[in-house]
Amino acid sequence: MNRNIKSCCSRWARRGPALLLALALLCSPGCAPAREQETDTLRLGVALYTQDDTFISSVTQELERMVQEAEVELGRKINISVMDGANNQTTQLEQIDRFLDRGYDILLVNIVDRTAAAVLIDKAEASEVPVIFFNRQPVSEDIDYRERVYYVGARAEEGGALQGELVLDAWRDERLGLDRSGDGVLQYVMLEGEPGHQDTLLRTEWSVKVLTDAGVEVEKLASDSANWNRGQASAKMAQWLDWFGPEIEVVFSNNDDMALGALDAIRAWGNPGPLVVGVDATAPALEAMSTGELYGTVLNDARGIARAMLDLALALAEGEDPALAVDLQDGHYVWLPYQKIDWTNLDQFLPEGGR
Ligand code: BGC
């Protein structure tokens, strides 16, 4: 919906073409349904921190697919434009300016630098455009006190805790023989995501906290950032295997791409490798679980995030109460639950025939 040309028929436009035709015949002279049909396009501007990220690509694909379905369902044109911030906050702010100049109705923002949200929100507010942040969570001061600013994502600590539970279950399962050194201590390495990302900080902390809270003694052999990236993780892991070899009992990885990178290095190393766990449940990670290479992962609900963003955007565009469209918490947040995946429930997550 373009606010500048909003007409008295706009609420009805989404109810379908047949209704629109009836309205065209019935509407008062001030109401122009033919023009409405042309201009009542809802324009969604999507700004990504980078397009080159497996998880973000799947959120974007889900969103594009749902937009197409919604167009058919609602009989309404929805234009979705996706811009790649190329990991540069200045570039992303220029893209936001462009969306606003062109009269986009709602911004969906996967912000590059989560501490830089205030500038972006000020710009959108000046144009009276709502902003839905996703996946990269701005600091709460930037969200909580603003009107029509939202965040859709999953609670980072929950993702970390579930990953910790996967490892705790494995540690307690004697058949897996996780304590290879037999010293009663779990030796691990940690592949961290991008520094400063809420998921890096909290998944790293909580995955290990679950073990120590359960009384498991742990020893960190090494940890470093591989920036969510498979290639960087593989290089890091190759180095750690060189230094520690079979001493490494578990590889915690803040996401699946890096877990797959670790497995690349382990394959090249050759010996029976350590247990590896990730987060996201991307298609290649689930595939690696079905071949038994990856021990477990935690579903980061790309589809749920896309669904919530679209429902929120449609409600905002209609001027409806967003709390009626999504499970809105504290007036600004939609939280999607994580789910842990291991061999016991893998089948539920594999695409049909994936096994
Ligand atoms: C995902 C990562 C992704 C990152 C991007 C995290 O929630 O687990 O795979 O690279 O978000 O912001």
Where do the domains of the chain lie, and which CATH numbers do they carry?
Answer: 42-154+301-337 (3.40.50.2300), 157-299 (3.40.50.2300)
Give the whole-number percent of the chain exceeding pLDDT 90.
85
Give the pairing type, strands 339-341 and 297-299.
Answer: antiparallel
Question: How far is CA 109 from its chain centroid?
Answer: 11
Q: How far is residue 246 from each of residues 59, 166, 233, 288, measured CA to CA in Å?
A: 37, 21, 18, 21
| Amino acid occupying residue 160 | G
Which among 228, 253, 336 is the best mutation to test ligand 1's pocket, defined by most ligand atoms within 8 Å of the CB?
Answer: 228
> Which residues partner with 189 through β-bridges?
222, 251
pLDDT level of residue 201 (50, 70, 90 thresholds): very high
Residue 21 has pLDDT above 70, yes or no: no
* Residue 354 confidence (pLDDT): 47
pLDDT level of residue 10 (50, 70, 90 thresholds): very low
Dihedral angle of Cα 104, 109, 114, 115, to the nearest 10 degrees: 10
- The rounded distance, in Å, linking the Cα atoms of 206 and 83 is 33
Residue 89 has pLDDT above 90, yes or no: yes
Q: How far apart are the first and last CA of the chain?
A: 44
* Residue 139 confidence (pLDDT): 94
* Residue 175 confidence (pLDDT): 84
Residue 93 has pLDDT above 90, yes or no: yes
* Mean model confidence pLDDT for the chain: 90
Q: How many CB atoms lie within 10 A of CB 160?
A: 27
Across 14-27, average pLDDT: 40
Helix (H, G, I), strand (E, B) or coil at 176: helix
Residues 6+ apart with CB under 8 A from 288: 259, 260, 263, 294
State if residue 253 touches ligand 1 by the CB under 6 angstroms criterion: no
Helix (H, G, I), strand (E, B) or coil at 26: helix
Residue nearest to atom 11 of ligand 1 (CA): 135
* Residue 128 confidence (pLDDT): 97
Instruction: Extract the tokens encoding 172.
Output: 């307690």
CA of 107 to the centre of ligand 1 (A): 20
Across 118-140, average pLDDT: 97
* Residue 271 confidence (pLDDT): 81
Q: Please name which of 222, 290, 291, 294 lies closest in space to residue 258, comparing C-alpha atoms.
A: 294
Across 155-182, average pLDDT: 96
Across 167-186, average pLDDT: 95
Residue 131 has pLDDT above 70, yes or no: yes
134-142 LR contacts (CB < 8 Å, sep 24+): 134/59, 134/108, 134/109, 134/110, 134/305, 134/309, 135/55, 135/56, 135/59, 135/110, 135/305, 136/49, 136/110, 136/111, 136/112, 136/197, 136/198, 137/198, 138/111, 138/114, 139/114, 139/115, 142/117, 142/118
Spell out where the chain has E strands. 42-48, 78-84, 106-109, 131-134, 149-153, 185-192, 217-225, 250-253, 275-277, 297-299, 333-335, 339-341
State if residue 133 touches ligand 1 by the CB under 6 angstroms criterion: no
Residue 18 has pLDDT above 80, yes or no: no
CB 54 within 8 A of CB 280: yes
Index of the ligand 1 atom closest to the CA of residue 228 = 10
Helix (H, G, I), strand (E, B) or coil at 78: strand
Residue nearest to atom 3 of ligand 1 (CA): 55
Least confident of 33-37, 43-47, 328-332, 345-349: 33-37
CB 299 within 8 A of CB 282: no
Give the pairing type, strands 297-299 and 106-109.
Answer: unpaired
* pLDDT tens digits, 317-326: 999 999 999 9
pLDDT level of residue 101 (50, 70, 90 thresholds): very high
| Amino acid occupying residue 238 | A
Q: Please name which of 86, 85, 99 lies closest in space to residue 131, comparing C-alpha atoms.
A: 99
pLDDT level of residue 39 (50, 70, 90 thresholds): low
- Angle, alpha carbons 154-77-335 (nearest 5°): 10
Q: Please name which of 180, 307, 309 lies closest in space to residue 246, comparing C-alpha atoms.
A: 180
Residue of 235 and 23 predicted with greater confidence: 235
CB 123 within 8 A of CB 100: yes
Residue 166 has pLDDT above 50, yes or no: yes
Across 22-47, average pLDDT: 57
Q: Please name which of 294, 247, 256, 253 lies closest in space to residue 275, comparing C-alpha atoms.
A: 294
pLDDT level of residue 31 (50, 70, 90 thresholds): very low
Index of the ligand 1 atom closest to the CA of residue 257 = 9
Q: How many CB atoms lie within 10 A of CB 231?
A: 13
Across 206-215, average pLDDT: 98
State if residue 280 touches ligand 1 by the CB under 6 angstroms criterion: yes
